[in-house]
Amino acid sequence: MLASNSRFSSPEGAPFCLNSLENRVFDLRLEDGSHIISKFYRPGRWNREQILEEHHFLQDLKEEEIPVCTPFLFENESSLSLFQKGIYYSFWPRVGGRSPDELNPENLRILGRLLARTHNIGQAKHFEHRITLDSETYGIAPLETLLKGEWIPPSCKKDYLEVANRILDLFREKIETVPLHRIHGDCHKGNLLFGKEGWFFVDFDDCLKGPAVQDFWMLLSRGKEELEEREHILSGYREFREFKDAWFDLVEILRAMRFIHYSAWISSRFTTDPSFPVAFPHFAGNEYWEKETLELKEQYKLIYDSLGGKNFFSVTESTSTEEELTNKDFFGDLED
């Protein structure tokens, strides 16, 4: 624990490893009985400037009394330090609370107000190094990762890529008039804590420049409850910030893009991280991709029907005997 000892008094006992598939996060008990959290960032995912932009965004939010956690500063007044071999680390206060199973109307209104204030602060400055949620970062790049790794089996490849590209076309059309600014980026119930002092936002690891609705849709139920929940969260949000109803057209499109992005994330670690084959045992099999292709088709049908159009093709397993398309048919810079 050399990294820990460089900033704080000696830890007492063994560190407790917290659940995280991306970074390495430890709960450390110090000699005085207090606890801190140490976070070691996975090399190659975010560079130093990108991590610091996350920390600066959190500091901006905290200064305006948004309930977030900010990292401790080291002696050089930086919140980030280099451990070894490109591994950056930071220290954080430990916060208590539990993630909600459900959100009642009052919870949603409160969270709507907090998100509006978060987005007002997010709009005040710009990210220079963090990514933007666009068709390249959340669509084309993940598809290229899947194609280069040859993860999609031939039986699914044509249909999967066709529907994925149609979804990206719809995204490009709908995002044109939607403002983009600094957002949480991964705002779901697991990244909310409720404790003695109320609500708390955690894990800004995926913060980026994106549309406000990205911070809404993962908090809402699907089905009949969604419209009612949407009204509650918007009633709070609109007390502090404008939100146009048309921006909700992006919700199901963003959900579909998350399917693609998530599969690419698994693929990027499946052969290098021993925990991933254990956590996702079916990923390399045809069954996983048949299910993913079907779900993506169903999601596309839902998107297109919700926008008042007709679905381009029925959601059934492909029985096509046409010649299989190659990687180069979809991305000109890729060889077969």
Backbone angles phi, psi at 134, to 5 degrees: -140, 180
pLDDT tops 50 at residue 311:
no
- Highest mean pLDDT out of 5-9, 99-103, 132-136: 132-136
Residue 191 labeled ligand binder: yes
Buried b (16+ CB within 10 A) or exposed e, 8-40: beebeeebeeeeeeebebbebbeeeeeebbbbb
Please report the pLDDT score of residue 13 as a whole number: 73
pLDDT tops 80 at residue 209:
yes
pLDDT single digits (tens) 175-186: 999 999 999 999
> Which range has the worst mean pLDDT, 7-11, 92-96, 208-212, 234-238?
7-11
What domains sit in the chain, N to C, each tagged with a CATH number?
2-93 (3.30.200.20), 105-330 (1.10.510.10)
pLDDT tops 90 at residue 201:
yes
Q: Say if residues 71 and 90 touch (Cβ distance below 8 Å).
A: yes
Beta bridge partners of 16: 27
Please report the pLDDT score of residue 305 as a whole number: 87
pLDDT tops 80 at residue 7:
no
pLDDT tops 60 at residue 4:
no
Q: Is 44 left (phi over 0), alpha (psi -120 to 50) or beta?
A: left
- Highest mean pLDDT out of 3-17, 74-88, 234-248: 234-248
Identify residue 39 by its one-letter amino acid code.
Answer: K
Please report the pLDDT score of residue 221 as a whole number: 92
Q: Within 10 Å of residue 149's Cβ, how many Cβ atoms?
A: 13
Q: Categorize the per-residue pLDDT at 316 as very low, low, confident or very high, splitting at 50, 70 and 90.
A: very low
Residue with tokens 């993860």: 151
**Average pLDDT for the chain:** 89
Q: Categorize the per-residue pLDDT at 318 as very low, low, confident or very high, splitting at 50, 70 and 90.
A: very low
Please report the pLDDT score of residue 328 as a whole number: 44
Please report the pLDDT score of residue 210 as a whole number: 99
Catalytic residues: 186, 203
pLDDT single digits (tens) 216-272: 999 999 888 999 999 999 999 999 999 999 999 999 999 999 999 999 999 999 999
**What share of the chain has pLDDT > 70, as a percent?**
88
Please report the pLDDT score of residue 3 as a whole number: 52
Q: Who has greater pLDDT, 282 or 10?
A: 282
Q: Categorize the per-residue pLDDT at 329 as very low, low, confident or very high, splitting at 50, 70 and 90.
A: very low
Please report the pLDDT score of residue 319 as a whole number: 37
Residue 203 labeled ligand binder: yes
Q: Categorize the per-residue pLDDT at 307 as very low, low, confident or very high, splitting at 50, 70 and 90.
A: confident
Q: Categorize the per-residue pLDDT at 333 as very low, low, confident or very high, splitting at 50, 70 and 90.
A: very low
Please report the pLDDT score of residue 277 as a whole number: 95
Q: Categorize the per-residue pLDDT at 314 as very low, low, confident or very high, splitting at 50, 70 and 90.
A: very low
Average pLDDT rounded to a whole number, residues 154-172: 97
Which token pair is 160? Answer: 């999967």
Taking Cα atoms as reference points, which of 263, 30, 253, 36 lies closest to residue 141? 263
**What share of the chain has pLDDT > 90, as a percent?**
75
With a CB cutoff of 8 Å and minimum separation 6, the contacts of 259 are 292, 295, 296, 299
pLDDT tops 70 at residue 327:
no
